[in-house]
């Protein structure tokens, strides 16, 4: 049987970010973590970094018409922007019911929830997000609230919150590496200092491959307890989810 085809969409115009995604794919393939034929895509124009919801809408309006002639070529689509990106819903409206679409934001939350222990009294029982600019602290928190369908996140015992680096997505690859490392470590330590976070979501596609920095911060902040905390890359989570959908949900006639 022919392998399934997944399109990994970078909805901004940054080639360096797509290069980072391609590097991540090569690493996953080296470890046999994927079974599908995965291709990458970069928006032909528009913002090089999606720094707010207006940018996200602009990129969706650029990408959708550019991809529309090729939608039938793929079995699944992953939108690699860590936001409630409108392109996810737009694609779902355009493709057949047998084609799966998700974003890395939605995929990481779904995966995080499945990794959390049951019972409110459990230690390390929450998930949190490390993201880029401070704008995303409220935007992503609101996205989590809508996704979980809760009225007030303060009453949600599963979500810790969002900590940000102050760098935008493009700067993760263009700023001095030591600055990126320091900002990532500081945000991570703030998120886990209360020792109640079980899963850290990397809240930007540009953070692909930066897991090691977060792991280092966990060891410095938590010591041996760092082993209890997962670092979740939304791209890996999204690809894994789509491949599971393709296996578990055969096409309907």
d(CA 216, CA 202): 14
Q: What does the alpha-carbon distance between residue 102 and residue 111 come to, in Å, rounded to a whole number? A: 12
Alpha-carbon distance of 5 to 134, in angstroms, equals 35
Q: How many residues does the chain have?
A: 253
From first to last of its 253 residues, the chain has per-residue pLDDT tens of 468 999 999 999 999 889 989 999 998 888 777 789 999 999 999 999 998 999 999 999 999 999 999 999 999 999 999 999 999 999 999 999 999 999 999 999 999 999 998 865 567 899 999 999 899 999 999 999 999 999 899 888 899 999 999 988 878 878 898 999 999 999 999 999 999 999 999 999 888 888 999 999 999 999 999 999 999 999 999 999 999 999 998 777 6
What pLDDT sits at residue 219?
Answer: 97
Paired tokens of 215: 């792991």
Distant-in-sequence, close-in-space partners of 240: CB < 8 Å, separation ≥ 6: 33, 107, 111
CA distance 40 to 25: 9
Tokens of 10: 């970078």
Cα gap 76→69, rounded to integer Å = 15
Q: How far apart are CA 152 and CA 157, in angstroms?
A: 11
175 Cβ contact partners less than 8 Å away, ≥ 6 residues apart: 167
pLDDT score recorded for residue 59: 98
- Taking the C-alpha atoms of residue 156 and residue 151, their distance in angstroms, rounded to an integer, is 9
DSSP character for 230? E
Same fold, 5-103+236-248 and 106-234: yes
φ/ψ region of 201 (left if φ > 0, alpha if ψ in -120 to 50, else beta) reads beta
Q: Which fold has domain 106-234?
A: Rossmann fold (3.40.50)
Annotation: CATH topology of 5-103+236-248: Rossmann fold (3.40.50)
Domain positions in the chain are 5-103+236-248, 106-234
3-state secondary structure of 156: coil
Distance from chain centroid for Cα 201: 7
């Amino acid at each position: 049987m022919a392998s399934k085809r997944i399109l990994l969409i970078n909805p901004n115009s940054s080639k360096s970010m797509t290069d980072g995604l391609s590097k991540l794919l090569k690493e996953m393939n080296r470890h046999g973590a994927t079974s599908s034929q995965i291709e990458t895509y970069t928006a032909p124009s528009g913002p090089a970094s999606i720094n707010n919801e207006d940018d996200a809408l602009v990129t969706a309006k650029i990408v959708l018409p550019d991809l529309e002639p090729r939608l039938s070529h793929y079995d699944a689509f992953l939108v690699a922007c860590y936001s409630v990106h409108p392109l996810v819903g737009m694609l779902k409206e355009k493709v057949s019911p047998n084609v799966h679409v998700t974003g890395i934001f939605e995929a990481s939350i779904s995966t995080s929830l499945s990794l959390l222990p049951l019972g409110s009294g459990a230690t390390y029982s929450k998930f949190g997000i490390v993201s880029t600019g401070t704008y995303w602290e409220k935007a992503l928190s609101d996205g989590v609230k809508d996704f979980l369908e809760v009225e007030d996140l303060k009453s949600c015992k599963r979500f810790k919150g969002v900590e940000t680096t102050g760098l935008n997505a493009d700067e993760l690859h263009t700023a001095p590496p030591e600055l990126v490392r320091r900002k990532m470590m500081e945000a991570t330590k703030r998120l886990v200092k209360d020792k109640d976070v079980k899963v850290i979501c990397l809240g930007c596609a540009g953070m692909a491959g930066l897991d090691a920095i977060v792991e280092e911060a966990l060891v410095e902040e938590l010591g041996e307890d760092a082993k209890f905390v997962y670092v979740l890359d939304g791209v890996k989570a999204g690809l894994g989810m789509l491949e599971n959908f393709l296996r578990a949900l055969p096409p309907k006639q």
